[in-house]
Amino acid sequence: MEPVLRINLFIEGQEVEPSSGSYIPRTDPGDESRTIGLVADGSRDVGAAVDAARRAFDNNAGGWVSDYRLRARVLFKAAELIREDLERLARLESLFSGKTIRTSRTSDIPRAAEIMEFYAGLADKVLGTGQIHRTGDLVAVVKQPVGVVAAITPWNFPFLILCRQVAPALAAGCTVVAKPSSLTSASAVELAKILSMAGAPKGVFNVVTGGGETVGGALIANEKVDAINFTGETTTGKWILERASRTLKRVVLELGGKNPNIVFDDADLERAANAVTYGAYANNGESCAAGSRLLVHSRVKEKLVRAVVERVSRLRVGYQLEESSDVGPLVSRGQLEKVMEYVAAAESEGLKVAYGGNRLTDGIYSRGNYMQPTVVDDVPPESKLFQEEIFGPVLTVTEFSDEDEAVRLANQTVYGLAAGVWSSDLGKALRVAERVKAGAVWINTYYTLPVEMPWGGFKQSGIGRNNTVLAIEHYLEIKGIYLDSQHGPMRPYYRIVLG
């Protein structure tokens, strides 16, 4: 039995209790009768955290802003510390989020370490440009960190997404205030401790836990915050963009997705069946990148659906810390109810549930947020299930008869985050990849998302990109410096002005 964890704030290099004196209880997603954490309500501490980050930036604390080699060393060291502590971090992450321990251990935590390393290697390569102007003077384009960054993160990949947001910001020389989801705040404070141990000066990385509107809203309104990186729901993203415009902050938004996995009749169906299953149910289906819409050519539809259903029926639903679990409990009772409402909507729309569709309530399942992985067949594009992000283990199936129809269906939602294309005709696969409106397209694979792959959305899936060398630009201001090195005669224009 895990002890109840007290999750405090992290401000100016140390853990602090919230000024409100109150803590929000967090229950175990796998056993709602059990409290596993007490999360500090930091709604009165946002100002203090932003001030700490602001001071660290403005005073160049420990050389953070000017010394790119220091930043590289700190991030490399953080990657090493994450790897050394992998098992503990993985357990913590799974316990609070409901994702299976194997997911945290083999994917989330090691990938977070890779992200740290990637940006560590970039910290001393933020290069400007310069040239000797035709006048003989020097014109330089200098890149400087933008300042204080607010990182607001969701509950589905708490540690991984936080690292993805903050590693480039830190590499650029910014300072950070992180606001994790109150359901999964534990690993953010762990990251703060890791960065501190790795040598980040005080105030460089701060964490304020608590509610979305109270803590997140206060961060967005704070004039001392220069930029925001937000990952979460599209509706929250729109609200944030509107509020951030009042103080003209830079904003990166990574929002929802309703991603198609498009399978043509010439695809390797065995591989496709594996990836469609993985794409829909990995991370309990609680993923913006989930391949939640299977679009399949009518000629192979029956065969593929049979192969997928056979695989889904073998998935083991179980407690998140059990080694044998493939699908864990959903993150909260509210999330489970939301997903079950979609299953009910499928039934009231007269759709066919080809597999699953039920909450699991017997025996070990009785106290947790468990449901069967579910497949809904023959879902038309007008259906709510086709259009809306369900964010749970529910896959919809829709058939198409040619390439144009596949592309049309793929693009027929407000989202545009990711897509999969399956075909042995690589020319066709590339054509479709080009025509699909999505920030990331996988051909003959799904979900592979190394830090070298840009991540962000078209349409209402977001603005801007995380990952890759591109992400660091979001945290950099560009300054032009013109140096008159000649002390020669002033140009005629000035002579006229000066008389």
Contacts with ligand NAD by CB under 6 A lie at: 152-157, 161, 179-181, 212-213, 216-217, 220, 231-233, 236, 239-240, 254-257, 288, 389, 391, 417, 457, 462
Would residue 254 show up in a list of annotated catalytic residues for this protein?
A: yes
Which two tokens mark 171? 């590499």
Which class for 91: exposed (0-12), middle (13-18), buried (19 or more C-beta within 10 A)? middle
Cβ closest to ligand NAD, residue 217 vs residue 328: 217
Cβ closest to ligand NAD, residue 13 vs residue 257: 257
Least distance (Å) between residue 68 CB and ligand NAD = 27
Cβ closest to ligand NAD, residue 175 vs residue 460: 460
CA distance 304 to 294: 10
Would residue 163 show up in a list of annotated catalytic residues for this protein?
A: no
From the list 254, 286, 389, 399, the catalytic residue is 254
- CB crowding 330-367: b at 16 or more within 10 Å, else e: bbbeebbeebbebbebbeeeebebbbbbeebeeeebeb
**Beta strands 227-231 and 148-152: pairing type?**
parallel
Least distance (Å) between residue 130 CB and ligand NAD = 36
From the list 114, 288, 389, 399, the catalytic residue is 288
Cβ closest to ligand NAD, residue 222 vs residue 277: 222
Least distance (Å) between residue 114 CB and ligand NAD = 17
The Cα angle at residue 316 between residues 295 and 32, in degrees rounded to 5: 105
* 351 membership: H or E segment, kind and range: none
DSSP letters along 33-94, please? EEEEEEEE--TT-HHHHHHHHHHHHHTTGGGTTT-HHHHHHHHHHHHHHHHHTHHHHHHHHH
Least distance (Å) between residue 43 CB and ligand NAD = 11
Say which residue the tokens 């220069």 belong to: 226
Which two tokens mark 193? 């401790």
Cβ closest to ligand NAD, residue 229 vs residue 383: 229
Task: Give phi and psi for 385, each to the nearest 5.
Answer: -70, -25
Least distance (Å) between residue 48 CB and ligand NAD = 18
- Minimal CB distance to ligand NAD: which residue? 216
CA distance 466 to 234: 16
CA distance 121 to 116: 9
Least distance (Å) between residue 282 CB and ligand NAD = 13
Least distance (Å) between residue 447 CB and ligand NAD = 12
Contacts of 178 (CB under 8 A, 6+ apart): 150, 151, 152, 153, 162, 165, 166, 188, 191, 192, 205, 206, 207, 208
* 319 membership: H or E segment, kind and range: none
- Positions annotated as catalytic residues are 254, 288
